[in-house]
Structure 1
Amino acid sequence: MKYFYCFALVLLISSCDPQPKLELNFKTGTIKNGTVTLNQFNQTLFSQAIMDGSAILNKPIEKPGYYTISIINSDKPLNTKQTFELYLENGTYNIETKVNGLYPAVTSASKTQQQLSDYYKVENEMAGALNNTIRSGLGFLETSEARNQSPKEHSALIVKTRGYQIQRREMEPNILDAYMTKHPDNVVAVHIMAQQYMDEFPEEYGKLGKKLSAEAKNTDEGLKVTDKLNVLIKLLPGSDAPEIIGVTTDGKSFKRNSLKGKAILVEFWVANSQLSEMNHTRILNGLIIGDRDKNKFGVVSVSTDTDPAVWKRAVKKSNLTWPQVADFKGDASPNVTNWKITKVPSYFLVDPNWKIIKPNIDILDVDDLVHEYFNKH
């Protein structure tokens, strides 16, 4: 009987073990010597050495969620490390890393991780070739051969690579749409959407938001995505542009009807920004809009500075001749909130009635967009 009680006590203790059971088994192929790290929110939680192409992480995690894995090859430069995301919960994960940036093969009972793997399968089917082209281009730009090119050749290569990157960004909502069509009941789509730059394609992401499952919409990320989409939809082409609140350099309240032109560029900027200063030079020198069309084109710059003296000094230094507006509330400004400004400089194109022509545009695209609008109106 004594032995029975001892056995029962062991069972009781083992059944009360509160630690989650998580095991990650890595097969890293050609990487024989290196390190695997488990990260979340930019913080490294665990690390494990890679020995003869394999590694095992057997550690408890606080709660299920998305974690980032980094595979570092000790025999190569640090910038060659592989980084990918996993959804981790209790259980065993067998992970076989791939070359050329492909998402690893992951075997797991986790439904969410299976959905995450399925997304990257769709992504590779649709954009794998373009990803390889971009990766090769960026890799070549770092070589001595590229640095020894003539300035003209080097510039052309940068422009070409940038074009591929723009093309790739344009594919993001299409890839997500294809994935959601194949997996309409998934919860991963909203996580992917939350990481993408929805501001660039608000109309496309607005349609995707309507396709999210009820379960996905009710997650923390789903609620944040919905809130952001509600703001972005207000900035779609044809929508009424938000008001601009603030004073001009002479202390008077800004009035939108003071601007004349068939097209108006609205800029959000901050003093001491080299990029803002460089773009101001482009505007001043007519590199965006030439003399022939200046009478049909207006500009207003909205500062996100908090110090009036700093703002006025920057305006004077760059000799900015078009209307300047500021309310000195920085990131707390209603201008930042209403126009959904996440970075400066940012640019919007509006018509004379302050209807949005195009939101979040690249300064280098202004000339083409303005003349395209002029040709239609």
Structure 2
Amino acid sequence: MIKKLLTFSLGLLFLSSFSQQKSKPFSFKIDGSIRNFTGKKIYVHHKWEEKDYSDSANIVNGKFSFNLKSIDPNMYWFTTTNNINAQPNLIFFADASNVKASLIGDSIYNSKVEAGQTQKDYLEYRTVINNFVAQQQKLQTDYNAATQSNDYNALNAIRAEYGSLNTQFISGLKNFVKMHPKSAVSGFIIYNDMNNPNIPYEDVLEALSYVDKSIEETKFIKLANKRVESVKGTMVGYPATNFSQNTPDGKPLKLSDFKGKYVLVDFWASWCGPCRQENPNVVAAFSKYKDKGFTILGVSFDSNKDKWVEAIQKDNLTWSHVSDLKGWGNEVGKMYSITSIPQNILVGKDGKIIAKNLRGAALEEKLAEIIK
């Protein structure tokens, strides 16, 4: 399978806050010190309802303080300039407890913030992330070495380890939420870290199921739920999201045009070796069940029309095909969060998704089960 590996990021690019049901405004104070810094001000930033907010404090004899207000536990970050997007920064969470910051001006990312339980949860979360990042970096180093030495056995083993690490990473995120069901950090994880096309939505739903009712109305959780609602049309058991793209002849063809049939939406490309290797299995299934209410709609990730059409003919793919010729940017692929190929989705006569990623014998076995 050709895929994009899940990566773990230490830089949290989306910084936001949220509002909690029945929450009460509170005030908190930040007392801080800073060394190795010649500037006169320190800055703290946050977001609220998608708006940016920044505060500054004068540094006097290496000391500074802020008096802030919030409605809920919230994410903040320090910078040494007034640029809210400046890097590096120092992220922390604040709740009703006061905050103590010990900053290093020339290494702010490695500075220290002590605060209430929410910050403690955040530091625990960062420990989990740091562990996975270290493992990923080692695998990348090993992969580069194996590539240079043309050690194909090692490359295959490392790819397998990557897959295992991805699975462990997702499990680690879910477990954190399960162990911290009332934490603002859990809300952040579900909305931010699990907002990744390489993470199945079923895992996002599982994480959401662990959230305590007391934070169900927080912004992060509400946004996560909104995202899930928007992608239910790509999940097993839900009606498949309709789409339309052009055939090789330039005519628009919709998924809904096949209503009343079993349809395998097959994501592939002429340049994808694993896809071409899988095609004989798909051809066999099509030949066996095409007269029994089953068909296939190929969605190509090609960008070269001639090569796309040539592959259709060469592999004897005699079913319907569409593409927008945008390669990995295929709009249907993005709609269905396809980040690796070959992949497929089996849609029932009622338009609901029955199964995903049926390859090899699994496709014929499933068709034999549902087509009597």
State TM-score, norm by structure 2: 0.56
Taking the aligned partners of 1:291 and 1:196, their CA distance within structure 2 comes to: 36
CA contact (8 A) 1:304 1:328 kept: yes
User: 5 Å matches for 1:90-105?
Assistant: 91-94=99-102
List runs of 5+ in structure 1 lacking aligned partners. Answer: 1-18, 27-37, 46-55, 70-82, 97-102, 270-275
Report which of the two structures shows the higher radius of gyration computed on alpha carbons.
1
Q: Does 2:268 match 1:278?
A: no
Taking the aligned partners of 1:147 and 1:247, their CA distance within structure 2 comes to: 39
Letter in 1 for 2:75: G
Q: Does 2:117 match 1:137?
A: no
Q: Does 2:126 match 1:116?
A: no
Moved more, 285-294 or 110-119: 285-294
Identity between Structure 1 and Structure 2 (%) = 12
CA contact (8 A) 2:245 2:254 kept: yes
Distance 1:323 1:204, change over 3 A: same
CA contact (8 A) 2:178 2:207 kept: no
Structure 2 residue matching 1:86: 3-state secondary structure:
strand
Structure 2 residue matching 1:237: 3-state secondary structure:
coil
Task: Show CA shifts across 1:199-241 (max 9, x none).
Answer: 5322232132133245644444322211112233443323332
Structure 1 residue matching 2:234: 3-state secondary structure:
coil
Q: Does 2:345 match 1:349?
A: yes
Taking the aligned partners of 1:257 and 1:301, their CA distance within structure 2 comes to: 14
1:266 maps to which residue?
266
2:18 maps to which residue?
none
1:184 maps to which residue?
181
Taking the aligned partners of 1:147 and 1:284, their CA distance within structure 2 comes to: 24
Distance 1:190 1:291, change over 3 A: same
1:14 maps to which residue?
none
Moved more, 253-262 or 108-117: 253-262
Taking the aligned partners of 1:148 and 1:344, their CA distance within structure 2 comes to: 25
1:13 maps to which residue?
none
Q: Does 2:316 match 1:324?
A: no
CA contact (8 A) 1:288 1:366 kept: no
1:65 maps to which residue?
75
Letter in 2 for 1:86: I
Q: How many matched pairs?
A: 290
1:196 maps to which residue?
194
Q: Point out which structure has higher relative CO (alpha carbons under 8 A, 6+ apart).
A: 2
List runs of 5+ in structure 2 lacking aligned partners. Answer: 1-28, 37-43, 48-53, 55-61, 80-87, 290-294
2:3 maps to which residue?
none
Deviation at 1:185, TM superposition (A): 1.4
User: 5 Å matches for 1:141-290?
Assistant: 141-143=143-145, 146-147=146-147, 149=149, 151=150, 154-194=151-191, 195-197=193-195, 199=197, 200-214=199-213, 216-250=215-249, 251=251, 253-254=253-254, 264-267=264-267, 276-279=269-272, 282-284=274-276, 286=278, 289=281
CA contact (8 A) 2:240 2:347 kept: no
Alignment RMSD (CA, Å): 5.3
CA contact (8 A) 1:265 1:299 kept: yes
Distance 1:291 1:107, change over 3 A: same
In terms of fraction of residues, the more helix-rich structure is 1
Q: Does 2:91 match 1:86?
A: yes
Taking the aligned partners of 2:63 and 2:288, their CA distance within structure 1 comes to: 64
Provide runs of 4+ in structure 1 moved above 6 Å. 38-41, 56-60, 259-263, 327-334
Taking the aligned partners of 2:179 and 2:112, their CA distance within structure 1 comes to: 19
Letter in 2 for 1:87: F
